A and B are shown apart, each in its own frame.
Chain A
């Protein structure tokens, strides 16, 4: 198998590109006797998702809700405590499936910090040629690929190939990071706050480029961001997380046009108004997100939810399909015992 050719589509357009089932990651909390407190951060708890071929799946949620942990689990930078993954029909890291190395070739990641992710001692050309060379591409072909990659991300190869990271602006460095993610011709790119550190005028350039690359190369994106407007702009479907759990998942139209979960609603109406004559009068919810070390029992949002009732503290709401979207809230589960729920 030539590791440098684009991977063939295997299961056809209807087969999800990536399926994750019951992913869990708990981090031990240092401290206490012998440096082990016995407590854990429940960063990601039994999370399942699927990514369709050619779509952009947006992931939103507040700081610490587990977005980056999900990303790192999906490319196996960290090992899940539990859960399985399937890439275009092939189980990952299982006897009859594909290896983690193969997963990491087909799924690439771009991080927020454009500087830290580039080796300061390598020129841009050396950085971009590194992985293709390691996969056995001859030097002359690697040079051609570097030129092609720089062209693709809008950097003139003549001008940029020989530069070092510190000789680039933040926007240019992020273009290089994207070029590097493309170097092995992946199918899925996970963008974790990839435009968040950029100035707005530069962010717009990079967003336009991401849209173009996706069409040109037939890519699939997972786009993680705390910027709800940018997620709305790019995504086909959106996943909303709160304290390690999915609270709502649906089409971008459903999530932004008709949000069902009280947290999604709060998050959307917490966006600053762009209309000076209609400024926000009241914050949609009070207080800070609770500590993920000891998340609230039952529904993790209950400590800030204006609709919380007894059942919310006792029973964890399942992620239930409501038609246009899936929602984890007792108000949407018939017969849950919540006064606003339909009769069973």
Chain B
């Protein structure tokens, strides 16, 4: 298996970013029996580029995305493509999406974009589409079928009839804990499209689905949730190897439901608490998940980061490149048939910062 990158080595590499040609990230290349089939991609998500006024943006969130882009550019081997997991903007405005697109333009390689609710609810994705393309689509790469869903839609009545202005609609959906929000969903039209898209695909083909919200139900109060998760899961069920990779939650989560492996990714902007830490609701994480370390607020970039993903086996090995923290790797264990942390999975290996309360 791969060597772990110590925090010190990683920081040393990051500090020398401008001066050197590659980060110690090259150490993370995973060895598989048939190396010809190996391929990797990078996943960056939840940058929440936030406009202040004029040409001013929140510096902290800018830095998170700038760092992810710089580091992803230094990956060796070069990833085949990059996925952006949604919430590029904070309030979906043109200046925010433009500024985010400008930072992303420094990435070398093809980027596939996923829609987040912070990108969508101002103009229902119109400007985003102009910049990045369709809101849902599929593509094939080296024998793997990839699907990108817009999973942050909601009830038509909430979207079209409830709010006096698009700006207010955006603000209401932007508040994670706002009781005026509305549950996310893929919706019937897109599920029909997905059904037809998957009909053409051999059931032995590895399938990877990208969404912004979890295609599983974790906590409705913060929209760690997709209303029609079961219906989407049913469409994925006939496939042998299925992985869903989602953003939105800004934290490490992973789970296995039947044949489907679920992985959440980190935000580059800020970490979110685990729903289980909200004392007024009864809420548990997927049992499988070993939580990320609690964030140290004195380190601006702590508990944020981006991902480097290996799909050599048809299942995914997901490496969290964490800023100001030890990196983590969650790999599919073919013996147990589920994703597991390569270091912290056994209870006796866990460390005090992974206890959330």
Chains A and B bind each other: no
Write the residues of chain A forming the contact surface with B, with a CB cutoff of 8 angstroms. none
Write the residues of chain B forming the contact surface with A, with a CB cutoff of 8 angstroms. none
